[in-house]
Structure 1
Amino acid sequence: MQLIWLRSDLRLHDNTALSAAAARGPSVAVYLLSPEQWREHDDAPCKVDFWLRNLSELSHALNELNIPLLIRQAARWDDAPNVLLELCQQLAIDAVHVNEEYGIHETRRDLAVADALKSRGIEFHSYLDQLLFKPGSVLTRTGTYFQVFSQFRKVCHERLHHALPSLVHAPRVQASLSIKPDKIPADIEGFDSPGDSLRALWPAGECEARRRLDTFTDARIHYYESERDFPAKPGTSQLSAYLAAGVISPRQCLHAALQSNQGEFESGNVGAVTWINELLWREFYKHILVGYPRVSRHRAFRPETEALAWRHAPEELLAWQQARTGLPIIDAAMRQLLETGWMHNRLRMVVAMFLTKNLLIDWREGERFFMRHLIDGDLAANNGGWQWSSSTGTDSAPYFRIFNPLSQSVKFDAEGVFIKHWLPELAGLSKKEVHDPANLGGLFGVAGYPLPIVNLSESRARALAAFKNLPSRQNAGAGDE
Structure 2
Amino acid sequence: MTRLMWFRTDLRVLDNPALMHSRRDDEEATLAIYFVTEAQWQQHDLGERRINLMKQAACNLQQSLDELGIPLLILKKDTFTEAKEALQHLIETYDISELNYNLEYEVNERHRDIELCQWSKDNAIQINKFHDQCIVPPGDLKTQNGDPYRVYSPFRKAWLRLQKDYINAPSSAPGQQDMHTISHDIRDHWADNSWSPEFTEDALWDPSEDTAHEQLKEFLDKDGLQYHEQRDLPELDATSRLSFYLALGVLSPRQCIYTAWQRNGCLLSGGENGLDSWINELVWREFYRHLIVAYPELCKHRAFRSDYENVPWRDSASDFERWCKGETGYPIVDAAMKQLVDQGWMHNRLRMVTAMFLTKHLLIDWHKGEKFFSQHLVDADLASNNGGWQWSASTGADGAPYFRIFNPVTQSERFDEQGHFIARYLPELNGLSPKARHFPDDKARKACGYPEAIVDHKAARQRALDTFKSMEN
> What is the TM-score normalised by the length of structure 1?
0.93
Give the Cα–Cα distance (whole angstroms) in 2 for the partners of residues 318 and 426 of structure 1.
21
Counterpart residue number, 1:359 = 362
Correspondence list, 1:98-137, <5 A = 98-137=101-140
Once the two structures are overlaid, the 10-residue window that deviates more, 116-125 or 141-150, is 116-125
2:443 to 438, 441, 444: 441
Give the Cα–Cα distance (whole angstroms) in 2 for the partners of residues 117 and 431 of structure 1.
64
One-letter amino acid of the structure 2 residue matched with residue 238 of structure 1: R
Give the Cα–Cα distance (whole angstroms) in 2 for the partners of residues 76 and 128 of structure 1.
23
Give the Cα–Cα distance (whole angstroms) in 2 for the partners of residues 228 and 251 of structure 1.
21
One-letter amino acid of the structure 2 residue matched with residue 441 of structure 1: K
2:252 to 249, 253, 269: 249
How far apart are residue 163 of structure 1 and its match?
Answer: 4.6
Give the Cα–Cα distance (whole angstroms) in 1 for the partners of residues 459 and 327 of structure 2.
19
How far apart are residue 264 of structure 1 and its match?
Answer: 1.2
One-letter amino acid of the structure 1 residue matched with residue 84 of structure 2: P
Give the Cα–Cα distance (whole angstroms) in 2 for the partners of residues 186 and 176 of structure 1.
21
How far apart are residue 90 of structure 1 and its match?
Answer: 3.5
How far apart are residue 227 of structure 1 and its match?
Answer: 0.2
Give the Cα–Cα distance (whole angstroms) in 2 for the partners of residues 298 and 401 of structure 1.
23
Find out whether 1:216 has 2:219 as its counterpart.
Answer: yes
Counterpart residue number, 1:391 = 394
Give the Cα–Cα distance (whole angstroms) in 2 for the partners of residues 452 and 152 of structure 1.
40
Counterpart residue number, 2:334 = 331
How far apart are residue 12 of structure 1 and its match?
Answer: 0.2
User: Could you tell me whether the CA contact under 8 Å between 1:104 and 1:296 is conserved in 2?
Assistant: yes
Give the Cα–Cα distance (whole angstroms) in 1 for the partners of residues 250 and 364 of structure 2.
35
2:55 to 52, 56, 75: 52
Give the Cα–Cα distance (whole angstroms) in 2 for the partners of residues 446 and 325 of structure 1.
17
One-letter amino acid of the structure 1 residue matched with residue 443 of structure 2: G
TM-superposition CA deviations, 1:60-108 (whole Å, max 9, x none)? 1100111001012321112233110112233321111110100110100
How far apart are residue 207 of structure 1 and its match?
Answer: 0.2
Counterpart residue number, 1:279 = 282
Counterpart residue number, 2:382 = 379
Counterpart residue number, 2:3 = 2
Give the Cα–Cα distance (whole angstroms) in 1 for the partners of residues 163 and 124 of structure 2.
38
One-letter amino acid of the structure 1 residue matched with residue 214 of structure 2: R
TM-superposition CA deviations, 1:5-35 (whole Å, max 9, x none)? 1010000000000000111531011011112
> Relative to structure 1, is the Cα distance of residues 248 and 136 closer, same or farther in structure 2, using a 3 angstrom cutoff?
same
TM-superposition CA deviations, 1:130-160 (whole Å, max 9, x none)? 1101111011111111011010000111112
Give the Cα–Cα distance (whole angstroms) in 1 for the partners of residues 442 and 325 of structure 2.
23
TM-superposition CA deviations, 1:355-378 (whole Å, max 9, x none)? 000000000000000001010000
User: Could you tell me whether the CA contact under 8 Å between 1:52 and 1:185 is conserved in 2?
Assistant: no
1:229 to 229, 232, 250: 232
User: Could you tell me whether the CA contact under 8 Å between 2:12 and 2:251 is conserved in 1?
Assistant: yes
How far apart are residue 161 of structure 1 and its match?
Answer: 3.6
2:242 to 233, 239, 242: 239
One-letter amino acid of the structure 1 residue matched with residue 422 of structure 2: I
How far apart are residue 117 of structure 1 and its match?
Answer: 3.2
Counterpart residue number, 1:415 = 418
Find out whether 1:461 has 2:462 as its counterpart.
Answer: yes
Give the Cα–Cα distance (whole angstroms) in 2 for the partners of residues 61 and 147 of structure 1.
40
Counterpart residue number, 2:304 = 301
Give the Cα–Cα distance (whole angstroms) in 2 for the partners of residues 163 and 361 of structure 1.
41
Correspondence list, 1:159-170, <5 A = 159-170=162-173
One-letter amino acid of the structure 2 residue matched with residue 142 of structure 1: N
Counterpart residue number, 1:200 = 203
Counterpart residue number, 1:431 = 434
Give the Cα–Cα distance (whole angstroms) in 2 for the partners of residues 346 and 186 of structure 1.
36
Give the Cα–Cα distance (whole angstroms) in 1 for the partners of residues 196 and 423 of structure 2.
38
Correspondence list, 1:335-350, <5 A = 335-350=338-353
TM-superposition CA deviations, 1:312-370 (whole Å, max 9, x none)? 01100000011111111011000100011100000000000000000000000000000
Give the Cα–Cα distance (whole angstroms) in 2 for the partners of residues 405 and 271 of structure 1.
26
Give the Cα–Cα distance (whole angstroms) in 2 for the partners of residues 90 and 46 of structure 1.
36
Question: SS of 1:354's equivalent?
Answer: helix
State the Cα RMSD in Å. Answer: 1.5
Give the Cα–Cα distance (whole angstroms) in 1 for the partners of residues 93 and 55 of structure 2.
25
User: Could you tell me whether the CA contact under 8 Å between 1:2 and 1:28 is conserved in 2?
Assistant: yes
How far apart are residue 166 of structure 1 and its match?
Answer: 3.5
User: Could you tell me whether the CA contact under 8 Å between 2:333 and 2:354 is conserved in 1?
Assistant: yes
How far apart are residue 184 of structure 1 and its match?
Answer: 5.8
User: Could you tell me whether the CA contact under 8 Å between 2:50 and 2:379 is conserved in 1?
Assistant: yes
How far apart are residue 162 of structure 1 and its match?
Answer: 4.8
Gaps of 5+ in 1: 473-481
Counterpart residue number, 1:153 = 156
One-letter amino acid of the structure 2 residue matched with residue 430 of structure 1: S
Q: How many residues align?
A: 462
User: Could you tell me whether the CA contact under 8 Å between 1:218 and 1:260 is conserved in 2?
Assistant: no
Give the Cα–Cα distance (whole angstroms) in 1 for the partners of residues 287 and 87 of structure 2.
32
Question: SS of 2:75's equivalent?
Answer: strand
Gaps of 5+ in 2: none
Once the two structures are overlaid, the 10-residue window that deviates more, 123-132 or 12-21, is 123-132
User: Could you tell me whether the CA contact under 8 Å between 2:142 and 2:149 is conserved in 1?
Assistant: yes
How far apart are residue 275 of structure 1 and its match?
Answer: 0.6
One-letter amino acid of the structure 1 residue matched with residue 43 of structure 2: E
Question: SS of 2:313's equivalent?
Answer: coil
How far apart are residue 265 of structure 1 and its match?
Answer: 1.6
Counterpart residue number, 1:187 = 198
Counterpart residue number, 2:35 = 32
Question: SS of 1:72's equivalent?
Answer: strand
User: Could you tell me whether the CA contact under 8 Å between 2:261 and 2:268 is conserved in 1?
Assistant: yes
User: Could you tell me whether the CA contact under 8 Å between 2:135 and 2:166 is conserved in 1?
Assistant: no
> What is the TM-score normalised by the length of structure 2?
0.95
